[in-house]
């Protein structure tokens, strides 16, 4: 069963990282979300060195993203790269991004869904959901589903490899759970993302819960695309490990959390470049049999948390409620799910 003790966590952090196995991505299209800084930026640089036909930095801040793209070009010698606006705090922005991409770009080989936030204070998005649940889970799921048909169609192109969708999770999902009040609620996700439920005490563990949702969603989505020789997309989730990034820099983060995190960061954190190698590994390495539907960590596949392995009912509930909420935002989500259930995704 999947457990992660503090001692094992520290041992994992101290493992010698593998170098990136640079592949030739000529002719391929890669998207990295949340890529103007931190893990996403470092992953984008690794992909840039592999010379894809198109590399999209999907970010919410145009100015910061343009600066990041300039730095990426200078460091890698890659002349391409585009900045596309994507604000996962606004679900209409996710829909607009997907519509533009599906209209203007002919293929999608790699999608690394990295964008995420961490905050300990409740803040509602314009869509009315608690921001961490929306940005880290709902928006990530929406983007993945809306781009999935394009990825499936890519598999049918001459010479194409099986496209990959990699969702960035975290080992912190091992230490997360959902309380009895939430489990007994009629609407699990809506309750979790509500103001009434999201008090200060509960918000302290919200980031970890969002990463647990990532793992549940990845497994559900992959289960709707059983791996065969003709499987149109390989889907997995990845843990970059504790990295020295700006993720915990929210001004709302309590001082004691900042102090504890700073101490751990100083002692055992990886650089974001090292953490990004995990993202690239999950997006490019391992066989489909190994990594499809898997939780990837330390350049391999590991079992996720016990809660994930032992509660199939919760996984289905999270999937069903996620789809129900997202269909209200964009009806095309329902079309994609029906294709998945009918085994028609990627059929030409």
- Catalytic residue IDs: 169, 207, 211
Residues forming beta bridges with residue 113, ordered by sequence position: 167
**Strand, coil or helix: 144:** helix
Whole-Å CA distances, 301 to 4, 12, 42, 80, 122: 14, 13, 22, 32, 34
Q: How far apart are CA 215 and CA 209, in angstroms?
A: 10
The residue count for the chain: 348
Q: Of 208, 227, 241, which Cα lies nearest the Cα of 293?
A: 227
Whole-Å CA distances, 52 to 91, 108, 203: 28, 11, 40
Q: How far apart are CA 113 and CA 91, in angstroms?
A: 15
Q: How far apart are CA 117 and CA 48, in angstroms?
A: 24
Q: How far apart are CA 169 and CA 303, in angstroms?
A: 13
Q: Of 63, 64, 24, which Cα lies nearest the Cα of 41?
A: 64
Strand 29-33 to 110-113 pairing = parallel
Strand 234-239 to 164-168 pairing = parallel
The two structure tokens encoding residue 262: 């700073």
């Amino acid at each position: 069963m999947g457990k992660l003790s503090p001692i094992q966590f520290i041992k994992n952090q101290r493992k010698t990282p593998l170098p990136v196995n640079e592949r030739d991505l000529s002719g391929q299209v890669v998207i990295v979300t949340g890529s103007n800084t931190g893990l996403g930026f470092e992953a984008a640089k690794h992909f840039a060195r592999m010379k894809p036909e198109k590399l999209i930095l999907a970010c919410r801040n145009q100015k910061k993203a343009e600066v990041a793209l300039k730095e990426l070009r200078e460091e890698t010698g890659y002349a391409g790269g585009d900045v596309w606006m994507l604000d996962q705090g606004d679900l209409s922005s996710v829909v607009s991004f997907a519509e533009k991409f599906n209209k203007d770009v002919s293929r999608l080989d790699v999608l690394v869904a990295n964008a995420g936030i961490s905050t300990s204070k409740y803040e509602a998005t314009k869509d009315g959901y608690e921001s961490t649940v929306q940005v880290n889970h709902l928006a990530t799921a929406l983007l993945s589903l809306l781009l999935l048909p394009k990825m499936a169609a890519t598999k049918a192109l001459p010479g194409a490899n099986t496209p990959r969708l990699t969702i960035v999770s975290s080992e912190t999902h091992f230490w997360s759970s959902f309380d009895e009040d939430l489990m007994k609620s009629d609407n699990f996700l809506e309750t979790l993302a509500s103001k009434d439920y999201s008090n200060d005490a509960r918000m302290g563990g919200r980031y970890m819960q969002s990463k647990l949702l990532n793992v549940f969603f990845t497994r559900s989505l992959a289960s709707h695309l059983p791996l065969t020789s003709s499987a149109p997309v390989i889907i997995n989730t990845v843990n970059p490990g504790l990295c020295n990034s700006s993720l915990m820099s929210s001004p709302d983060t309590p001082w004691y959390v900042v102090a504890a995190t700073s101490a751990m960061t100083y002692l055992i954190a990886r650089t974001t470049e090292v953490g990004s190698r995990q993202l690239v590994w999950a997006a490019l390495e391992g066989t489909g049999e190994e990594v499809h539907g898997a939780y990837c960590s330390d350049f391999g596949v590991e079992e996720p948390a016990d809660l994930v392995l032992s509660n199939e009912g919760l996984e289905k509930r999270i999937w069903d409620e996620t789809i129900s909420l997202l269909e209200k935002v964009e009806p095309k989500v329902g079309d994609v799910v029906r294709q998945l259930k009918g085994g028609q995704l990627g059929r030409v």
